Structure 1
Amino acid sequence: MAAVPVIPRSTCRLFGAIKALGTMKNTVILVHGPKGCVYHITYILGMRGDHPPRIYSTCLDEQDVIFGAERKLAGAIEELDCTLSPDLIAVLSCCASDIIGEDVASAVSSASVSARTLAVDSGGFEGDHPGGYHDTLAAIASALAGSSGTVDPCRVNLLGVLRSGPDLSEMKRLLSSVGVRTGAVFTAGSGPGDFARAGDAALNLVLCETSGLGAAEVLRDRFGTPFRIVDLPVGRPATDRFLSSVLEALGRTYDPPPAIPAPPSLPGRLRIALFSGPARAVAFSEFLSGLHCPPRLVILDLMPPSPERIRQAAGPDSEILIMPASREIEDHLDRAGINLILGGLLERPFAVSRNIPSIDVMHASQVTFGYGGEENLVRRIREAASRMVLD
C-alpha cells in the first residue's frame, strides 16, 4: 500500500502521558529515551503556556540502543531521588526504548529509592495522545489511589482534569458554594498524598470521558465509588445543570440562585469555527447556541464517545468534522465563510492566513466555567467581533 503523506493534527502517546503528569505536585518525570523526545515536548508545552515541569531524560545514545540501558535507567532514577527528594518519580518509555525491548518496569522496581515510583508504558508509535491521557490516569488510580476506609458523603474527585488554572479554581469554588468538597483531582495540582484518600470520595466526576473514564472504572472496581460523566459548566444554564447533577448524585437537591438577565445575543453575522476535544465541543456548542450563534463548524481532534451529543449541542445548521486532514479543514473554513475561530494555538495559522481573529479557549489561561466564565467569553467574542470586518 502506498504511503499517504499527511500534516498531523494529533501527537503521540508519550505527549499524553507527560501532559497527564505534568501539573502534579512534587513529581519528577523521567523519559527513558533520546533527548529529542523531551526537548520537543517541553518546547511545545511551553509555547502552549502550560508552564511545563522539569522533564528529565536518560538521553539514550547509539551504544545504549545496541547494548541496552536498563542499568543506566535505574541509576538515573536513584540520582533523581537523591538530589530532588520528590514524592513521586514517574518513568516513561518512548518509541526507542520500546523498540529495543527495554524492561522499564523492571528497572523501576530494581531502583533503591525513597520516593513512590510509577512506570508508564508510553511508546509513541503504540497510540496517540488521548490514549496516553487515559492510560496514565488509569495507572495512577490503580497504583496510587488509597482510602482511609471512611466515605465522606460530601466529597467528590474530579477526573480528566489535566490543566491547573482559572477553570479548575472556579469549578472548586462552584462545588464549595453548594457544600461539596473537592478531593483528589486526576491529575492537575494533585500528588500522591491527595490520591491516598481518593477512595474516600462519595462520587467521582468524569469531566473528560476520553481521559478520565478509565480511572473512574478503576476506582469503582477498587473502592466501589460510583461515577458520573458530567458536561463542563460553560455558561449559566450549563453551570446550573452541572451543580444540579452533582447534588442529585449525592442524594441532595439543588436550589438555584435567583434568576438574572441572560447576556445579550452575539452578533448575528458571526460565523464561528470551534476546534476542540469532545468534552469542550459539547459545552461550547451549547453555550454558543444559547446565545443564538451556534458554531458553523465543529472540528474534533479525536473520535468522540458520542458524536450525536455534539450534533445535538451544535444544532442542525452546524457541520461536524471528526479528525479531518488539514486540507479538508481549509476547504470547509472557506466554504462556510468562517470569520472567527475558537480553538487553541494549533489553529492560529488558519486564522492568520485568513486575516480573521482567533480566541484560545483550550489552554486554561482565562476562566470559561461558571457565571464569570460566561461573562468573560461573551466579552472576548464581542471584542473580536468589533475588530473584524464583516461582509
Structure 2
Amino acid sequence: MASTAPGAGGALDFIVYGNNHYPGWIMAGFAVRIPRTTCRLFGGIKATSTLKNTAILVHGPKGCVYHINYILGMRGDRPPEIFSTCLEEDDVIFGAEERLENAINELDAALSPDLIIVFSCCASSIIGEDVAGAVHASNARARVIGIDTGGFEGDHISGCAETLSRLATELSTPGLTKKPFAVNIIGMLRAGPDLQELKSILANAQIEVNAVLAADARVADLENLGRAALNLVVCEVTGKNAAEALEQRFGTPYIVPGLPIGPGPTREFLEEVTRELGVPWTPDPESSSNLPVQHSRSDWKIAVVSGPTRAVSMTRFLAGIGIEPAMVVIDIDSGNVDRIRALAGERCRILVSPEQNEIREALADCRIDILIGGMMELPLCTGTGIRHIDMMHGSQKTLGEAGTRNLLSILAEERDE
C-alpha cells in the first residue's frame, strides 16, 4: 500500500509508492502528469474500429495512426488496419488535398470496402485542409464520410459522440417500416461477450436487436437504424447525441436504462424496456436462484473508475452484494453524482474528471484494496499493493446472469488471496 507523509501542520506533502515520491499537491495545470483524456481523433477511431468492411483513413502525419493503433492494442481491442496519408513538411506548407483524394480512391480500388471514413487530425485541421471537398471529389464506389476530429477542438469523448451521431444520420435510410418489438443498442463499441449477453437478455423477452451502433455493425445494419421502435443508450456520454439525432430523424424514442449488472438491475432493465415497447413480460423467479452464495467482504475498500453509466451500474452491483465502494471516479458528470452517492453512501469519495495525480492521492487517502477500472488505471496500482481488475475493455463478462457469475468468481478469487 501507499504511505503518506505529512508536512507542516499535517498537510499532505507527498505520497510514497515503492521507491517513488509523488507531490501531494496538484499543480496549476501548466504541467499535467499523464492527462486522462486524449484527442477527438482517438474517440473517432475507437467508435468505428469494429465496423465491418470499413476502411479508416487518417489525413495527417504517420505518428497519429501509429500511436492510436498501439494504444488500442494495449487496451485489449483488436484494432483494424488504419491507414494514413502520412503528411510531411511540404504537405503542411503547400496542402495535400490531392494526396487525400488519391488515397481514398486507392483504398476503394484495393479493398472494395462498403464504407471509407476519413478523419482529420490536429495537423490537417490547423492548415485548413478541405477534407469534405476531397471526399466529394473522389470517385470511390464505397460510401465515404469525412469527419473533423482535430485534437484542439475537443477530447476523445466528444470525438466518439460526434462520430456515432454522424454515422447515424448519414447512413440511416428514411422511410423504412418499423418493427414494433425491435431495439437499437446505441453507444456499445466492443463486440465482446457483453454484447452477446445483452442480446441474449433481450431475446429472452422476445425483443429483437435491430442494429448496434457501432460494435460489429455493417453498413447495411446502420442503414436500417430507422426500423427500431426504441433506442437503448448503453453509454450516455457517447451515445446520447446519436439517439437524439435518430429521434429527430425518425421519431424513435430513446431511454438510458443503465447496464444490467446483477440480478436486480437485469430484471429492472427488462421491465423498463418491455414497458416502453408495450411487450408483455413476466420475470422468471428462478432466473437468479442458482447464483453462487456470496460471502461479502464489507471491509474491502474498493474503487470504481469508469464512465458514468458503467460506474453507476457497477456501484449498484457492489452495493447489492454488501460492498459499498470507498471511491468512485467518473470522467464526466452527466447528472449521476447524486445516484452514485445514494448507492455508495456518504462516506464514498466521488471524483469527477480528475487528473491522474488526484486519483493517486485519493487511492492512498482512502486506503483502497481493489481498483475496478481499465488499463489507464493499471500504473496507479503497480507497486502499491492495490489489486487491479480490468472490467472496462470488453474481454470480461459483466452483464446479465453470465456477467454476475463472472464478477462474483473474480471477487471470490480476490477474497481468497
With the shorter chain as reference, the TM-score category is over 0.9
- Mapped pair 1:109 → 2:136: yes
- Mapped pair 1:337 → 2:337: no
- Mapped pair 1:90 → 2:120: no
**CA distance in 2: counterparts of 1:236 and 1:57, whole angstroms:** 45
What is the Cα deviation at residue 346 of structure 1? 1.1
Match of 2:388 in 1: 358
**CA distance in 2: counterparts of 1:268 and 1:276, whole angstroms:** 22
In the superposition, the TM-score normalised over structure 2's length comes to 0.90
- Mapped pair 1:219 → 2:249: no
Match of 1:6 in 2: 32
- Name the amino acid aligned to 2:31: P
Secondary structure in 1 matching 2:209: strand
- Mapped pair 1:247 → 2:274: yes
**CA distance in 1: counterparts of 2:190 and 2:166, whole angstroms:** 18
What is the Cα deviation at residue 148 of structure 1? 5.3
- Name the amino acid aligned to 2:269: F
Q: For the Cα contact (< 8 Å) 2:301–2:367, is it kept in 1?
A: yes
Equivalent of 1:283, from 313, 326, 330? 313
- Mapped pair 1:210 → 2:237: yes
What is the Cα deviation at residue 195 of structure 1? 1.0
- Gaps of at least 5 residues in structure 1 are none
Of stretches 303-312 and 169-178 in structure 1, the one that deviates more from structure 2 is 303-312
Q: For the Cα contact (< 8 Å) 1:33–1:59, is it kept in 2?
A: yes
**CA distance in 1: counterparts of 2:247 and 2:268, whole angstroms:** 24
Secondary structure in 2 matching 1:190: coil
Equivalent of 1:136, from 163, 171, 174? 163
Per-residue CA deviations over 1:89-138 (Å, capped at 9, x if unaligned) read: 00000000000000101101100010001111100111011101110011
**CA distance in 1: counterparts of 2:112 and 2:264, whole angstroms:** 46
Of stretches 263-272 and 230-239 in structure 1, the one that deviates more from structure 2 is 263-272
- Gaps of at least 5 residues in structure 2 are 1-27
Match of 2:224 in 1: 197
What is the Cα deviation at residue 312 of structure 1? 2.1
What is the Cα deviation at residue 352 of structure 1? 1.4
**CA distance in 1: counterparts of 2:158 and 2:335, whole angstroms:** 13
Match of 1:170 in 2: 197
**CA distance in 2: counterparts of 1:306 and 1:50, whole angstroms:** 28
How many residue pairs match? The answer is 386
Secondary structure in 2 matching 1:354: coil
- Name the amino acid aligned to 1:325: E
Q: For the Cα contact (< 8 Å) 2:181–2:279, is it kept in 1?
A: no
- Mapped pair 1:323 → 2:353: yes
**CA distance in 1: counterparts of 2:242 and 2:296, whole angstroms:** 38
Q: RMSD value over aligned CA atoms? A: 1.3
Per-residue CA deviations over 1:280-299 (Å, capped at 9, x if unaligned) read: 10000000001110110001
What is the Cα deviation at residue 265 of structure 1? 4.2
**CA distance in 2: counterparts of 1:258 and 1:142, whole angstroms:** 41
Match of 1:43 in 2: 70
**CA distance in 1: counterparts of 2:382 and 2:274, whole angstroms:** 44
Q: For the Cα contact (< 8 Å) 1:22–1:52, is it kept in 2?
A: yes
**CA distance in 2: counterparts of 1:273 and 1:175, whole angstroms:** 30
**CA distance in 2: counterparts of 1:294 and 1:206, whole angstroms:** 26
- Name the amino acid aligned to 1:11: T
Secondary structure in 1 matching 2:244: helix
**CA distance in 1: counterparts of 2:29 and 2:322, whole angstroms:** 44
What is the Cα deviation at residue 313 of structure 1? 2.8
Q: For the Cα contact (< 8 Å) 2:135–2:144, is it kept in 1?
A: yes
Q: For the Cα contact (< 8 Å) 1:159–1:185, is it kept in 2?
A: yes
- Mapped pair 1:294 → 2:324: yes
Q: For the Cα contact (< 8 Å) 1:29–1:54, is it kept in 2?
A: yes
**CA distance in 1: counterparts of 2:280 and 2:181, whole angstroms:** 13
What is the Cα deviation at residue 329 of structure 1? 1.3
Match of 1:304 in 2: 334
What is the Cα deviation at residue 3 of structure 1? 5.8
Q: For the Cα contact (< 8 Å) 2:312–2:336, is it kept in 1?
A: no
Of stretches 173-182 and 296-305 in structure 1, the one that deviates more from structure 2 is 296-305
Match of 1:70 in 2: 97
- Name the amino acid aligned to 2:184: N
Q: For the Cα contact (< 8 Å) 1:94–1:124, is it kept in 2?
A: yes
**CA distance in 2: counterparts of 1:312 and 1:210, whole angstroms:** 21
Q: For the Cα contact (< 8 Å) 1:45–1:51, is it kept in 2?
A: yes
What is the Cα deviation at residue 257 of structure 1? 0.9
Match of 2:13 in 1: none
What is the Cα deviation at residue 326 of structure 1? 2.0
**CA distance in 1: counterparts of 2:172 and 2:337, whole angstroms:** 32
Secondary structure in 1 matching 2:181: strand
Q: For the Cα contact (< 8 Å) 2:104–2:138, is it kept in 1?
A: yes
Secondary structure in 1 matching 2:73: helix
Match of 1:118 in 2: 145
- Mapped pair 1:61 → 2:91: no
- Name the amino acid aligned to 1:66: I
- Name the amino acid aligned to 2:188: V
Q: For the Cα contact (< 8 Å) 1:289–1:315, is it kept in 2?
A: no
Of stretches 296-305 and 235-244 in structure 1, the one that deviates more from structure 2 is 296-305
- Name the amino acid aligned to 2:405: E
Match of 1:268 in 2: 298
- Name the amino acid aligned to 2:381: A
Per-residue CA deviations over 1:300-329 (Å, capped at 9, x if unaligned) read: 123334322222232222110011122221
Identity %: 48
Of stretches 212-221 and 79-88 in structure 1, the one that deviates more from structure 2 is 212-221
Q: For the Cα contact (< 8 Å) 1:267–1:385, is it kept in 2?
A: yes
**CA distance in 1: counterparts of 2:354 and 2:375, whole angstroms:** 17
- Name the amino acid aligned to 1:205: L
**CA distance in 2: counterparts of 1:293 and 1:52, whole angstroms:** 35
Q: For the Cα contact (< 8 Å) 2:184–2:225, is it kept in 1?
A: yes
Per-residue CA deviations over 1:20-68 (Å, capped at 9, x if unaligned) read: 0001111110000000000000000001110001000000000000000
